[in-house]
Amino acid sequence: MSNEQDGKAMEEAAGQGRMRWVDRVLAAGPRKWGRWFLWIGVVVFLLAGAGSFILLAPIFWLSNCLGPSAIGFLVTLKLSALIGLGLASPWFVNGLVFLVVHRLTKGRGEFWAPLGSEQVRDICEHLTDKEKTTVRRWGALTGSLMGLLCGAIIGLSVLSVLWSALLGAASLMVFVSWARTKAKCFLCSTQYAREQGIRPEDLRLYRRLFR
């Protein structure tokens, strides 16, 4: 029994260690995320470009289509750069998006949202450290699920555009409804919301655009 308990304790400790690492990454903020993505993009560009050049150079030079000349070298270099840029562009785009988000939210709090209601902003300003960690995990989970859902919809469009559009619209409606309900329940379960007596049915997630 002691060995089983020790094994479970070690598994729990390992799981907590992984979650602490994830929490540190999530707590880094969009500025560091943007820099990380840009650096990863640079590394991907250099590795993909160099690998493409190594593979393409013998093909161009040995096939005698251009010959081992300066023109062949330049064409190979250009194609390699385009391949590297194509593989690295998603990292660059995500990095720039995170930096723009950091610029827009600078001085407005970590959980500021442009369309968030006054109630939501008030609750987010009074979150405890544990609640902030939960919000970061929730944001990472919903963002990942949304990305997988959009990827599945795009993949289905190869088979049938009509069915992918119908299934995609229905899936997005269900997902958004589920996410809104879970967000309301969590926000109303925070310490500040309980003290203020805010209930899920009374909480407005988004502010009114038109009065």
Identify whether residues 209 and 116 lie together within a single domain: yes
Domain holding 73, by residue range, is 30-109
Q: 210 — alpha (psi -120 to 50), left (phi > 0) or beta?
A: beta
Number of domains in the chain: 2
Q: How far apart are CA 105 and CA 134, in angstroms?
A: 20
Residue 210: pLDDT band with limits 50, 70, 90: very low
Please give the share of the chain, as a percent, with pLDDT higher than 90. Answer: 4
Look at residue 156 and tell me if it is in a domain. Answer: yes
Q: What's residue 43's pLDDT?
A: 93
Look at residue 15 and tell me if it is in a domain. Answer: no
Look at residue 59 and tell me if it is in a domain. Answer: yes
The amino acid present at 136, given as its one-letter code, is R
Q: How far apart are CA 36 and CA 156, in angstroms?
A: 32
Q: What's residue 42's pLDDT?
A: 93
Q: What's residue 64's pLDDT?
A: 56
Q: What's residue 122's pLDDT?
A: 83
Of 54-63, 68-77, 124-133, 200-209, give the range with the top mean pLDDT: 124-133
